[in-house]
Structure 1
């Protein structure tokens, strides 16, 4: 048996490639790629870390429109700051935010050790204040007695302090001038760096959304090739399909990946196809029943043809009512909203009376326009009363009192129909299940029939999260009786889940830091699974 060929040292072989080929390859690499390549072997590191390779790093920065380094940063160190999501002090925690003022990435565990807050005066406040002007600092809003209201990088502060005290008096002025220029440069770059990070994050989110869309399209094409293309005409299935965990993943669909998920998604399409056939039959029967009832309501002496003609008149009036409602809140205006909808307006009692007027009565825009204000007022009162009824067994007089109560962060709703596990006000008003018909007909006469009037039948009080939100609100220093969702949104707090911390130790990552909304979701699922 031939001895196994070792792969140790194979990477050194790329050093023998022609220089032209090297330059051509490197012209397509980002700073992150070059940095990882430099760390792959000692030979490559010696090449890329030399001053003669500065042009390579600059070319790499141009591929991603990366800002130029601040004074004091080499090209490799600058790439490490911008692209390596690792704490620069413990080298363990993942840190996605760059602190451009302190020119570092630092995790929450290392902040207290390496970021100095409120430096002590120690007898000579003037000298300490001068040294603080020589380092980039963040001014704090609260000052402690005997301390300066600043925050700075501890290592930089100690180094500048030692250098300043070491220099003779005649050299201190020049040193202070150089440091002041450096502080101005860093301070001016903060907004540039944050704008670049924001743009990069936005591009990353767009890339992930595009991956999700491409994956959904690829899965849909495979299901259509298997004969399930008709189910995508059903609005309910399309919504469930795009929300399915196996579909909304930001990764490309491969043949191997399809073989793992095909059984589940094919079964989902089969069930939707059976449901669609059933709804088509129900829709046909329902249409016949409606026509029969209309004929009976118009009397024995009215023919079926006359009843159908009246139905056609009612449909034309529905179109007028819908257009009047849409003109009340034109698309793109600051008051435009998905709720209330034209269906709510058309089911309003006074509007229904106009729709059912005899065929020879003229109905136009002016017939419906005077009812818009009264409808909006009564609909708002009704919707808020329904939400209050779900939460508490009490009555409130004014709409301002109802709105103030519903805005409290401790009031959490849950949908009993779909996968939306937590809903806050006012998003709960626009929840799609509140306006979706339980069994929408496949064949509709108008777009209004695709949805129903707003109702709260699918909503309930989320007992678990209602109790938890009171605890969370108290924990962040707010009063549960007055704190609103917007109050918690304005807090720049992140939350760590200790359960997730134990669960993710083996994965090598740290994914247990969340915003408060994601933290609430994680808490609920952890509690429901009894982790």
Structure 2
């Protein structure tokens, strides 16, 4: 019967303890019927038996080897055999640990009362001191321990509730401030249970005041010394972690550089250079964040063969499509600069009642010029000027399309309309409210199609097909494709006004202008303090639309008497005088020579002088925003009781009193 196998560890133990050389045991012969089912481990051949001859070394050489080792290596060696453990854990071997500690740059001495092996374990082994859980990276130096989150919560206490006789616990116990991970109050002072038990026992043994005073002084000195030593250890530990992180990052960087070099040799140089320049890519796209690349091991030829297919697949599926799209967008962005200038020139005769740059870019004639995949040559201004004769037809077709979509939208908002009816002059089809800015305006000269929100909210209601890269890149233009669904119609609000005026829903603008009704809202929420607000029919529709848009209560409109309307004559004249200057004093103006807009008139005048060299601009050089030309015809009648208390009136009413659009009731 063959002799049973004996492990190398047992051989080493016997050799160390008995100092007797043994011949290697002959391997047992296995019968043909014997089968081995246990899988073999992958053992690195270069390290197999590396420490096998260590126990047979002469003692002086062995001591020299141990002194040149690092503390963590000594811990590992001490756990291999009993002989090594007895040697390294003996008090007489303390000098070996001290010499080993000197091999670690900047490592402080152990805490007072702590042995070298325990201090080495605290510094280098990521194990919880209390429950021996692994993976604990942070050291609580004040406690001279590593604690997992569970032990932080269960094995620490707030000492104030226990040491009620001690005035200053901080002077007696090593302590720490609680962090969020401990599930305690942030900043709460915590101490170890074992420290509490020890200190409480020592405190109770102090029988008189003098002894307790001495105890507190000694505790204060001990804690102060401990905190100073903990600060030195913390500083060393922080530097060590930083250096290790930098070392690991350097190894990963060298591996990435080698991967990049091999990819460049394979023809992927453009992709590698592009991805290195990008700052805002997600980690799932970055080549250096690929798990096969972001490793510390140097890249060997064999290792490259293992990861080559994965890396190349990542480049082709994640990096190259983004690079091509980025280059395409950059080329298109450069072409858009000249395109914007040409479109601004084309739009001047139309005073910006003109299709947006995005809408024009979708037309075949312009797409053939702008799309880099269709036109490989960089466009010039002459190419755009060749399209100028087509602009009138393009604008006419655009207006016809806008009107067709708007008519369909309005008809869907009203039920049972005659099929062939024209909506141009119907009251309910005149006003609209923007869903984004809640502005209410009339659709005069296609204002609804050039509303400012197509610039401020480029995706608002402008959803368009993104089937191609060209379509998805049009976001650069910052404009939206016009859709009537961006607006609410005035149909429900206009019907309330028509009902108050005694007209049917198909009443025309001419009918109401001829009737010229004046209305007021009796809803308490709609009335200013001590003031009756009087609207014409357009302002009344706008008022109802605004209340509905902001979720306010429904309005209670009432037509005022004809006698009272006659008394409003002076107020109407003041409104006409004020509206004569509205365009001149318009807050928002446009430059006729470029896309500069949304500025006060003085700023546009300065812009014309500084940019275009026009010192004395004329009406042809600048014009008011056509989106802001809806005039205000609201007047106010104020109760006489507020004549001596005008400061209680709202700002619009006070301004109306100054301009003559408001009057006290006794002066009416």
State the TM-score, normalizing by the size of structure 2: 0.39
State the TM-score, normalizing by the size of structure 1: 0.48
| More helix per residue | 1
